[in-house]
């Protein structure tokens, strides 16, 4: 069984008038992820901002860890509060279970096997 080993925590744009709140939340979130990383509750995280491209995803954090680590994070009070606050100052907030590294290879192998043959 292939389990997710990453979380994409993404957003589109800042709600007009809430730019300051969004900036403070970003700093708070980075500090939270640093705390998780320093206590080995998260393997790594990466903040990503995207160039203007006409889409509805303009930035995200990519969190990497074991499935158990990520489940613990997603169910923690602080992460839930961060995502709720994000929804109040950012548009199109999403938390998506993801697959990276060898898990991608495993899923691609399964996908290739699922392709119908004539």
Count of domains observed in the chain: 1
pLDDT digits (tens, 9 = 90+) for 22-81: 999 999 999 999 999 999 999 999 999 999 999 999 999 999 999 999 999 999 999 999
What per-residue confidence (pLDDT) applies to 1?
Answer: 83
pTM of structure: 0.92
CATH number of the domain bearing residue 106: 3.30.70.100
DSSP state for residue 55 in the 8-state scheme: S
Is 59 inside any structural domain? yes
Mean pLDDT, rounded, for 104-115: 93
What per-residue confidence (pLDDT) applies to 65?
Answer: 97
What per-residue confidence (pLDDT) applies to 26?
Answer: 98
Is 31 inside any structural domain? yes
Which residue range is the domain that position 108 belongs to?
Answer: 6-114
Burial class (CB in 10 A: 0-12, 13-18, 19+), 93: middle
Is 1 inside any structural domain? no
Q: Is 98 helix (H, G, I), strand (E, B) or coil?
A: strand
């Amino acid at each position: 069984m292939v389990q997710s080993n990453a979380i994409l925590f993404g957003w589109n744009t800042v709600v007009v008038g809430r730019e300051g709140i969004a900036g403070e939340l970003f700093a708070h979130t980075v500090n939270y992820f640093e705390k998780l990383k320093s206590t080995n509750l998260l393997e790594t995280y990466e903040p990503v901002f995207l160039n203007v491209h006409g889409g509805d995803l303009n930035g995200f954090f990519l969190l990497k860890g074991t499935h158990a680590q990520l489940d613990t994070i997603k169910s923690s009070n602080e992460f839930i509060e961060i995502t709720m606050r994000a929804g109040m100052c950012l548009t199109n907030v999403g938390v998506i279970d993801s697959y990276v590294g060898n898990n991608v290879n495993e899923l691609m192998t399964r996908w290739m096997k699922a392709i119908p043959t004539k």
